[in-house]
Amino acid sequence: MAGILLALIPALCWGSIVLVSVKLGGDAFSQTLGITVGALLFSIVLYFTVHPSLDTLTFIIGILSGMFWAVGQRNQLWTVKYLGVSKTVPLSTGMQLVAASLVGVIVFKEWTTRNVIIIGTIAIILIIVGVIFTTVRDKDDKDNNKAVKKGYILLLISTAGYLAYVVIVRWFNLNGWSVILPQAVGMLIGAFLLTFRNKPFNKYTIRNIVTGILWGIGNLGLLLSIPKIGVATSFSLSQTGIIISTLGGVFLLHEKKSKRQVVFVIVGCILVIAGGILLGFTKK
């Protein structure tokens, strides 16, 4: 039971990040920088608490991984400007899950048995259908097509950044505890390089330090839950948090949605979560 509760921490924290960041205010640049500052502060405290081993390779690769994360986070938050939270979060989550799974299959040969291949294929289909559901538009929608196109392009860049952030650590088989601090350093470096021209240093940057600490707590919850209930269950439960930001965008941020669209968004989120849970069963 304790393991399940720990695994729900990243779902709660990561599922709330975009929503909390938008509520705290600022643009994608100040939000991203603030999040990375908070994540670094949390990681420093965690490092001196746990004292994980840290070698040169881990430090260098961790920094690179963190910089890729900054690309993913900045562009995800930027997408909100064009698509809104309730559409951005499920789209982003679905794209990340599918992309990471395909890389796992093609590069790391993770699906090796017939049952795993069947489960994984069903999972990807569920995620794709769920994502499509979250993008359903009404006939009388007057969305700016240029803005929507811009949002999708930013999401593709965001997904590529998040994917590289995960894959590079997996490629070098780095320890999760050891890589936390280097990643946070890389996140801050990447955020600074991506945002300094847009003058991100303002009160919203300071506010979003809270969001960064929230991210760190989620990361800690995942690391603590894995030894107790395994990678598969921890990974699966961490995906359920998208419902928080998605519904929060509709009901707390009052993003314009018809009743029909709300139904499709909720069903879409459930399908993405179901697909994420099934993907958990394909992991060792």
Question: For 112-170, how does the pLDDT look when each residue is reduced to its tens digit (9 = 90+)?
Answer: 899 999 999 999 999 999 999 988 887 666 667 888 999 999 999 999 999 999 899 98
- Output 233 or 246, whichever has higher pLDDT: 246
Tell me what pLDDT residue 196 has.
92
Please tell me the distance from the alpha carbon of residue 19 to that of residue 196, in angstroms, as a whole number: 23
pLDDT tens digits for range 21-50: 999 999 999 999 999 999 999 999 999 999
Tell me what pLDDT residue 68 has.
97
Tokens encoding 151: 């949002």
Kindly state the DSSP code that residue 113 receives in the 8-state scheme.
Answer: S
SS3 content of the chain, % helix, strand, coil (to 5): 85, 0, 15
pTM of the model as a whole? 0.92
Q: Does residue 189 have a pLDDT over 80?
A: yes
Which of these ranges, 33-47, 125-139, 234-248, 251-265, has the smallest mean pLDDT? 234-248
Q: Three-state DSSP class for 274?
A: helix
Categorize the per-residue pLDDT at 226 as very low, low, confident or very high, splitting at 50, 70 and 90: confident
> Tokens 């018809």 identify what position?
258
Tell me what pLDDT residue 2 has.
73
Kindly state the DSSP code that residue 253 receives in the 8-state scheme.
Answer: S
Picking from 60, 67, 264, 257, the residue whose alpha carbon sits closest to that of residue 143 is 257
Q: Three-state DSSP class for 23?
A: helix
pLDDT tens digits for range 77-113: 999 999 999 999 999 999 998 998 898 889 888 888 9
